[in-house]
Amino acid sequence: MRNSKKWLAGFLGAVMCLALTVVVKQDVKAEGENAGAAYITCTEDTKLYVTPDWTGEIAASLPKDSVMVMIGVEGFYTKANYNGIEGYLDSNFVGYNEEAIAAYEAELAAKSEEVRMMAAMIQCEAGNQPMEGQIAVGAVIMNRVKAGNYPNTIVEVLYQPSQFGPADSQMFADLLASDTIKESCREAARQAFAGTDNVGGALHFQRVGVREGLVIGDHVFY
């Protein structure tokens, strides 16, 4: 009898999850991998498993109302992506918390705009440089965000007085307003934002010949 109840609960959970694939809102605000993503949340603290088996390896712990990208349904499990980790959770714990998803979407949008601003700055500072040099400028920006003696957001780093000269230029403003940023600069910003650091933690850069350091293209990083 107990097994029958458990089977029925799992079956109902799977049915509910299948319904979610139809009615869940499609996100059209996010860019990149999450564009058009179907978001779900978990109704309580649970686990994301490597395989659709609750006795198997745990891929991640999911706090209540964690937001995930739904991939599909396999038996009594829902396959989802949680912060870049793919796995399976019991469909009984799948829900749709609109407030949590809205907050997640807002965070994605803010990050997307910061990356766009960084890409515009990369174009101003190194638009004529090879990809390695463009990534390097982005890496300096991100290194400052992570350092304790600089602002901790991309926007604040870019607009910190007497640091990035183009921040107050018409060129920078026009790039943001027209959104005519080169794709190479966008890609460089994405890579730097994702953690690529090809300058060994450098916090500064200048034109070659000013001082010693790591030379990439026309800039020296230190």
Q: Which of 69, 60, 67, 70 is nearest to 99 (CA)?
A: 67
pTM above 0.75, yes or no: no
From CA 59, how far away is CA 49, in angstroms rounded?
Answer: 5
Of 70, 96, 122, which marks where a domain is finished?
96
Same domain membership, residue 83 and residue 32: yes
pLDDT value at residue 84: 85
> HSE (CB half, 13 Å, CA atoms) of 198?
16
Torsion angle (degrees, nearest 10) of CA 51, 52, 57, 58? 110
Same domain membership, residue 178 and residue 116: yes
Residue 35, number of CB atoms within 10 A of its CB: 12
Range of the structural domain that residue 191 is part of: 112-221
Gyration radius from the chain CA atoms? 22
Over the stretch 59-105, which tens digit does the pLDDT of each residue have?
999 999 999 999 999 999 999 999 889 999 999 999 999 999 999 99
Within a domain: 104: no
Over the stretch 156-168, which tens digit does the pLDDT of each residue have?
999 999 999 999 9
CATH value at residue 60:
2.30.30.40
Average pLDDT over residues 179-207: 95
pLDDT value at residue 25: 38
Same domain membership, residue 145 and residue 50: no
Q: Is the pLDDT of residue 170 over 70?
A: yes
Within a domain: 107: no
Share above pLDDT 70 across residues of the chain, in percent, rounded to a whole number: 83
Same domain membership, residue 125 and residue 62: no
Full strand arrangement of the beta sheet holding 39-42:
58-62, 46-49, 85-90, 77-82, 67-74, 39-42, 94-95
From CA 93, how far away is CA 144, in angstroms rounded?
Answer: 40
For helices 98-126 and 170-178, angle between their N-to-C axes, nearest 10 degrees: 140
- Which two structure tokens, joined as six digits, stand for 177? 């307003």
Within a domain: 103: no
From CA 27, how far away is CA 82, in angstroms rounded?
Answer: 16
Same domain membership, residue 199 and residue 129: yes
Give the helix ranges, DSSP H, for 84-221: 98-126, 131-146, 154-158, 170-178, 183-193
Predicted confidence band of residue 212 (pLDDT cuts 50, 70, 90): very high
From CA 138, how far away is CA 129, in angstroms rounded?
Answer: 12
Same domain membership, residue 188 and residue 117: yes
Q: Are 42 and 93 in contact (CB under 8 A)?
A: yes
Over the stretch 1-24, which tens digit does the pLDDT of each residue have?
444 444 444 444 444 444 444 344
From CA 120, how far away is CA 171, in angstroms rounded?
Answer: 9
Domain count, the chain: 2
Same domain membership, residue 43 and residue 18: yes
Same domain membership, residue 71 and residue 158: no
pLDDT value at residue 97: 96
Residue 179, number of CB atoms within 10 A of its CB: 10
